[in-house]
Structure 1
Amino acid sequence: CSPQDSSMNATGVRMMTRSRSRGPGAGPRGRREKAAALQRGEAAAEGRKSHSPARRQRKTQKLNVAYEASDHQEGEDTRSLTAPSWEPRDWQQQLLNIRIMRSGKDAPVDWLGAEHCYDSSAPPKVRRYQVLLSLMLSSQTKDQVTAGAMQRLRARGLTVDSILQTDDSTLGTLIYPVGFWRNKVKYIKQTSAILQQRYGGDIPASVAELVALPGVGPKMAHLAMAVAWGTVSGIAVDTHVHRIANRLGWTRTATKSPEKTRAALEEWLPRELWSEINGLLVGFGQQTCLPVHPRCQGCLNRTLCPAARGL
């Protein structure tokens, strides 16, 4: 071939070689297509990851689904939506029986309890202090004895300042013969000093602060919240409520202390009854359900209990 033909053939070879070396993505359009292909490849890889065996295993786990029961359908799955709460058998009838027997409101607690021992004409802060003091005196003491001690104290002007200015011997004479009167003299003085220093002569407005005071227990604290502050903070359980609740089977198991009885009662007793139950059962325990009842020998035979049987 001629030199010219050889030159053209070489040029063509070079052009073809250059074109092949640049490949399909060498130009602008090719670069876009290559980028799109890479994106499709990454998406496919992500899809393969999302369908890995571990993910499939979690996805195929059995799910237990419960539905609300219709008016004509009940089943095991539907009942599991609401956990059944324990409550004693026939407690509503027993409560009604006790209310009937207590309808006269003539037990000592009804006219000598903490809500009747304070001076209603005193300032609110003084009234609340007197309520707390009457509760401190009432421990292990009959209501009649507590009321007598409160009358003697009020005759001298019962305030935080007056108690702190009274010597221990005089205070002991005034509150005697309440139970453990020597210890109560000490507790009353200590608590009154704390009330003056920390609360301006008033009483705390929480159970936690009340039980932190010397000589104040949980029953006193809940009653103080109800009588002094008008707040239902819990069930006040004394020896009467503790005894009757166990005799009637109002606790899931027998309880060994009033505080355990309180916790057991608060688990099932409707909250709207909490404020009523103390006075109701205390009066029932003072008049009918005595520590050792002559008829039922401590309610060992529940068929003889007037609260447990129908009236």
Structure 2
Amino acid sequence: MKRLLTPKVRDIEDIWKLHIERIKIMRKDGNAPVDTMGCHRLADPLASPKVHRFQILLALMLSSQTRDEVTASAMARLKEHGCSIDDMINIPTDELEKILCPVGFYKKKAVYIQKTAAVLNEKYDGDVPDSVEGLCGLPGVGPKMAHLVLQIAWQKNEGIAVDTHVHRISNRLGWFTTSTPEKTRLELQKMIPREDWQNINHLLVGFGQTVCLPVGPKCSSCLCNDICPSSKTKTKVDKVEEETERQEIVKIRKISSKVKTEISAQKLVRTRSKKII
């Protein structure tokens, strides 16, 4: 990719906005797995509204710690078998496990799916809850899934969905330092305008799948490599500027330390003079 002119930005707000602009350029081709096999594409568009929403929830439950390709294949097998709440309640657990394999933690997810189907049937009239609280009360459903279900199934923008990609990239780009996806979500919601909450997950997930990989990120082809604190690709100009800034900081610290020492010495002299008097 063509290297962009590096602006002189120091404010974190300017930095993250610039990151987003450049990531959008890198994502314009829509060539990431999430673009073609993401959970928003896996429910049957011809199914009834209730079944459609349930299938969106199912896809998201399966997607946790699982590649999009594997999730899409499992959803295809489920729809071939029958993918409604009644279908999931009535299928033997061992048979459901076979359909889900090799989805990550497929045995545990098979149990969660059947328990969730039973709760939806008994408590929600066979539909998916339309609140974060209701969704997070379902077995195996956390905040990330809840916010995505609301966005995709109910067109509600209640919060940012943060998965491992979003958590990793936000910290790599230096927007903040957080230890968990939930803490990242809270920081992102402070930083990003509410009207953009719904798009940030899709944008960063695709970026994380194609460029900012978990291992071996493609820093050399990333348009953010000159303004990313984690970039492994630096030009000679970048290195010279960084070294100059480092030396200036060292000088300032030395001067500051010297001034503090002189002030302390002067205070000590005045104190001793008062005692003598």
Task: Give the match's secondary structure for 1:291.
Answer: coil
Q: Match of 1:255?
A: 178
Residue 294 of structure 1 and its aligned partner are, at CA, apart by: 5.2
Cα distance in 1 for residues equivalent to 2:56 and 2:113: 13
Q: Structure 1 residues 113 and 295 mapped into 2: Cα distance closer, same or farther (>3 Å)?
A: closer
Q: Match of 2:95?
A: 170
Residue 302 of structure 1 and its aligned partner are, at CA, apart by: 3.1
**Matched letter for residue 159 of structure 1:** S
Residue 123 of structure 1 and its aligned partner are, at CA, apart by: 0.5
Q: TM-score, normalised by structure 2?
A: 0.75
Q: What does 1:53-202 align with in structure 2 at a 5 Å threshold?
A: 87-202=12-127
Aligned mate of 1:233, from 145, 158, 166: 158
**Matched letter for residue 185 of structure 2:** R
**Matched letter for residue 202 of structure 2:** G
Cα distance in 1 for residues equivalent to 2:23 and 2:132: 29
**Matched letter for residue 146 of structure 1:** T
Q: Structure 1 residues 164 and 294 mapped into 2: Cα distance closer, same or farther (>3 Å)?
A: closer
Q: Structure 1 residues 295 and 278 mapped into 2: Cα distance closer, same or farther (>3 Å)?
A: closer
Task: Give the match's secondary structure for 1:304.
Answer: coil
Q: Match of 2:195?
A: 272
Cα distance in 2 for residues equivalent to 1:303 and 1:163: 47
Residue 91 of structure 1 and its aligned partner are, at CA, apart by: 1.5
**Matched letter for residue 110 of structure 1:** D
Query: Are the counterparts in 2 of residues 88 and 249 from structure 1 also a CA contact under 8 Å?
Result: no
Cα distance in 1 for residues equivalent to 2:163 and 2:103: 17
Q: Match of 1:46?
A: none
Overall identity of the aligned pairs, in % = 50
For residues 32-84 of structure 1, give each alpha carbon's deviation from its aligned partner in whole angstroms, at most 9, with x where no partner exists: xxxxxxxxxxxxxxxxxxxxxxxxxxxxxxxxxxxxxxxxxxxxxxxxxxxxx
Q: Cα RMSD between the aligned structures?
A: 2.0
Cα distance in 2 for residues equivalent to 1:216 and 1:159: 18
Q: Structure 1 residues 103 and 294 mapped into 2: Cα distance closer, same or farther (>3 Å)?
A: closer
Query: Are the counterparts in 2 of residues 295 and 304 from structure 1 also a CA contact under 8 Å?
Result: no
Q: Structure 1 residues 242 and 143 mapped into 2: Cα distance closer, same or farther (>3 Å)?
A: same
Query: Are the counterparts in 2 of residues 102 and 283 from structure 1 also a CA contact under 8 Å?
Result: yes
Q: Structure 1 residues 295 and 132 mapped into 2: Cα distance closer, same or farther (>3 Å)?
A: closer
Q: What are structure 1's unaligned runs of at least 5 residues? A: 1-85
Task: Give the match's secondary structure for 2:191.
Answer: coil
Residue 88 of structure 1 and its aligned partner are, at CA, apart by: 3.6
Q: Structure 1 residues 295 and 98 mapped into 2: Cα distance closer, same or farther (>3 Å)?
A: closer
Residue 94 of structure 1 and its aligned partner are, at CA, apart by: 1.1
Cα distance in 2 for residues equivalent to 1:245 and 1:140: 19
**Matched letter for residue 95 of structure 2:** T
Residue 148 of structure 1 and its aligned partner are, at CA, apart by: 0.4
Task: Give the match's secondary structure for 2:188.
Answer: helix
Q: Match of 2:243?
A: none
Q: Match of 1:30?
A: none
Q: Match of 1:29?
A: none
Q: Match of 2:215?
A: 292
Q: What does 1:4-15 align with in structure 2 at a 5 Å threshold?
A: none
Cα distance in 2 for residues equivalent to 1:93 and 1:295: 18
Higher helix fraction: Structure 1 or Structure 2?
2
Q: What are structure 2's unaligned runs of at least 5 residues? A: 1-10, 239-277
Does residue 281 (structure 1) correspond to residue 210 (structure 2)? The answer is no
**Matched letter for residue 210 of structure 2:** Q
Cα distance in 1 for residues equivalent to 2:205 and 2:232: 21
Cα distance in 1 for residues equivalent to 2:179 and 2:77: 36
**Matched letter for residue 211 of structure 2:** T
Query: Are the counterparts in 2 of residues 187 and 215 from structure 1 also a CA contact under 8 Å?
Result: yes
**Matched letter for residue 49 of structure 2:** P
**Matched letter for residue 183 of structure 2:** K
Q: What does 1:20-35 align with in structure 2 at a 5 Å threshold?
A: none
Structure number, greater radius of gyration: 1
Q: Match of 1:83?
A: none
For residues 76-134 of structure 1, give each alpha carbon's deviation from its aligned partner in whole angstroms, at most 9, with x where no partner exists: xxxxxxxxxx9544211111100000000110000111110000001000000000000
Cα distance in 2 for residues equivalent to 1:287 and 1:191: 33
Residue 292 of structure 1 and its aligned partner are, at CA, apart by: 2.3
Cα distance in 2 for residues equivalent to 1:302 and 1:175: 38
**Matched letter for residue 279 of structure 1:** H
